[in-house]
Amino acid sequence: MNVKVAGRVRFDPPDFFHPAVSPAADVPVTRLLVGGKWQPAASGETFDVHSPVDGSVIARAAKASREDVEAAIAAAYDTREGFRRLPAAARLEICEHAAQIVEQHRETLVDAIVADLGKTPEQAASEVEATRERLGLVREEVRKIFGEYLPGDWIPDTTGKSAVVLREPVGTVAAFGPFNYPLFLAASKIIPAVAAGNTVVAKAPSDAPIPLVLFGRIMEETGLPPGVLNVVTGRGGEIGDTLASHPGVSMISFTGSSAVGRSIVEKTGPKPLHLELGGNAAAIVLSDADLDLAAQKSVLGAFKNAGQRCDAVSRVLVEEGVYQAYVERALTEARRWPVGDPRAEGTKVGPLVSAKAAARVNALVEDAVAKGARLLVGGKVDNAYHEPTVLVDVPLEADIMWEETFGPVLPIASVRDLDAALELANRSRYGLDSAVFTSDLESAWRAARALECGQVTINDAPAHGVGHFPFGGRKPDSGIGREGLGYSIDECTVLKTVVLST
């Protein structure tokens, strides 16, 4: 495979974003947002931001140190008492204003995602629209902030008393967004935190930092008080550890790999955690399924966003009686996903986030083939690009059956029946998503009840979308807590019980 790239990738934001992204002679330079001021790192250091489309440097980002992160935490801490007194209606107006600004600068945000991550313009536009929708739906979030009244005379020892249960902001939230949705998932952590009255220190993913910096500038323009939102960029290690362990941080909200999630748990101490980690979603195809639908949706679930999704279909378990018929349809669907420069018309699969990521995916493919799987489509790699790939007859010994692939690969295996499929699906150490394709309601319901994961989708590929339905992990390697409209507020508030003697 030899991917042709049509011209060097560039990123040149308009004047509106220049406080956050300053023009330079060669490529723009992003700054940190600390205490309401856009500034370089204290050390003056930067790091190169590469586009996976062609490997070129598209920006230089401020390389925050422990000193910068501590300053951001201090700004958030100093601001939080004043911000929690801001009327909730004002916080709603801030988010609704941000939705309007996102719409005004839609094209710039799309360009940033395409350049920084290599998504197609259509995929990037979908992410920007989801961010705008999430901001516009913030009133749905705040329905969870209401408290309740509890009369005490139902229990002898509380007779003559009553209680009011309040929901209050947790304090300062440290938000870690992932690279695969660098705008939407970061915003999905910031929005409920701010709506609930918290201050935030948000760390941008080092592989795709630009969209969060742009979002920070958008939130600043809404009139958000200085210090409420702070944005830092830099390599994980030092600044991530500082955020996770700092006593000035009240809660951690993290989306990313299981390994990093476990590391955060070791460093945080006893404080609220929301962790959305890895996935290894099984799509179960039963003999009574609509095979055309099953093939279309499972291929979509595996290849969308180049497979870089925690809710991606990671393996397909097909009942023996329809195995060959499903494989034939899946091969036809897979050939409809051309790979190439995401800016080129017709491209559906762009690059992975880096050449290293593509090499890791290809190693999983080679391991499966070495252990007996048959490679029928794709399998080649070129720098950050990995061909959409279909593996059939994949043995259980293959690592790809149990790992989070995070690349455009569809591994297919045959199973005896639904019971065998459920056993294999549940054997995974992950428990984020699963899918079941069947025309029988009883089978669908039995599978939904038996699968050990946070979300089961019937007759479609798993997708978390804007968050209307709650989602999150059930097993440790898939995290703890739930995201979604309204549900995210639960993670960003704490209960306080006020007991009144009457």
Flag whether 423 is in a domain.
yes
Residue 475 lies in a domain: no
Say if pTM beats, i.e. exceeds, 0.85. yes
Query: The CATH number of the domain where 316 resides is what?
Result: 3.40.309.10
Domain match, 145 and 271 both: yes
Examine residue 8 and state whether it is found in any structural domain, yes or no: no
pLDDT digits (tens, 9 = 90+) for 98-139: 999 999 999 999 999 999 999 999 999 999 999 999 999 998
pLDDT digit string, tens, across residues 252-306:
999 999 999 999 999 998 999 999 999 999 999 999 999 999 999 999 999 999 9
Q: Report the range of poorest mean pLDDT among 6-20, 30-44, 315-329, 437-451.
A: 6-20
Q: What is the pLDDT at residue 153?
A: 93
Domain that holds residue 370: 281-467
Q: Are residues 211 and 285 in the same domain?
A: no
> Within a domain: residue 5?
no
Check which CATH number belongs to the domain holding 207 and give it.
Answer: 3.40.605.10
The CA-CA-CA angle for residues 327, 331, 334, to 5°, reads 135
Residue 301 within any structural domain of the chain: yes
| Helix, strand and coil percent figures for the chain, each rounded to 5 | 40, 20, 35
State the DSSP H helix or E strand holding residue 47, giving kind and residue range, or none if neither: strand 46-50
Distances in whole angstroms, Cα of residue 129 to Cα of each of 103, 142, 465: 8, 21, 11
Q: Which residues contact 308 (CB under 8 A, 6 or more apart)?
A: 179, 180, 352, 353, 357, 406, 407
**Both 253 and 373 in a single domain?**
no
Active site residues: 276, 310
Same domain, 460 and 490: no
9 located within any domain: no
Query: Same structural domain for residues 167 and 267?
Result: yes
Any domain includes 7 = no
Single-letter code of the amino acid located at 310: C
Residues 181 and 291 in one domain: no
Report, as an integer, the average pLDDT of 462-483. 94
> How many domains, in total, are found in the chain?
2
pLDDT at 144 over 80: no
pLDDT tens, residue by residue, 327-352: 999 999 999 999 999 999 999 999 99
Same domain (yes/no): 237, 309: no
Q: Are residues 311 and 252 in the same domain?
A: no
Residues 211 and 240 placed together within one structural domain of the fold: yes
How do 479-480 and 172-176 pair as beta strands?
unpaired
Residues 253 and 312 in one domain: no
| Burial tier of 352 (Cβ tally within 10 Å: 0-12, 13-18, 19+) | buried
Same domain, 287 and 264: no
- Residue 162, amino acid: S
Given a cut of 90, is residue 47 above it in pLDDT? Answer: yes
User: CA-CA distances (angstroms) from residue 334 to 136, 328, 361, 480?
Assistant: 36, 10, 17, 33
Q: What is the mean pLDDT of residues 451-473?
A: 96
Query: Under 8 Å CB-to-CB from 408, ≥6 apart: which residues?
Result: 302, 303, 306, 307, 337, 339, 349, 361, 378, 386, 387, 388, 389
The b/e string for 305-316 (b: 16+ C-beta within 10 A; e otherwise) is bbbbbbbbbbbb
DSSP string, 236-294: HHHHHHHHHH-TT--EEEEES-HHHHHHHHHHH-SS-EEEE----EEEEE-TTS-HHHH
Same domain as 170, residue 30? yes
Residue 299 domain-assigned? yes
Q: Copy the structure tokens of residue 161.
A: 């008393």
Question: Helix 121-136 to helix 184-195 angle, to the nearest 10 degrees?
Answer: 10
